[in-house]
Amino acid sequence: MNPFVYNANPGRVIFGPGSHSQIASEVQLMNAGKALVLATPTQSKAAHRLSDQLGSFLPAYLIRL
């Protein structure tokens, strides 16, 4: 096996009913200027709702390629 180094950033999980409503404040807490929402076609409704909550943190919206 070849030697390697793996650096993992600490994660943060927020779980529970209504926790998605905190998405914009979480992006702000991380000092991130923008966010990216990725979803499968089956998850598109949830992705739309999440994107609406991100407001100005979401630079663009792509439905399909």
Over residues 3-60, the pLDDT tens digits come to 988 888 778 888 899 888 998 998 898 888 888 888 888 888 988 888 888 888 887 7
Domains of the chain: 1-65 (3.40.50.1970)
Query: Which amino acid does the sequence have at 53?
Result: Q
Confidence of residue 64 (pLDDT cuts 50, 70, 90): low
Assigned token pair, 54: 């991100």
Cα separation, 53 vs 23, in Å, equals 7
- pTM (2 decimals)? 0.65
- Whether residue 58 contacts residue 27, with contact meaning beta carbons closer than 8 Å, is answered with no
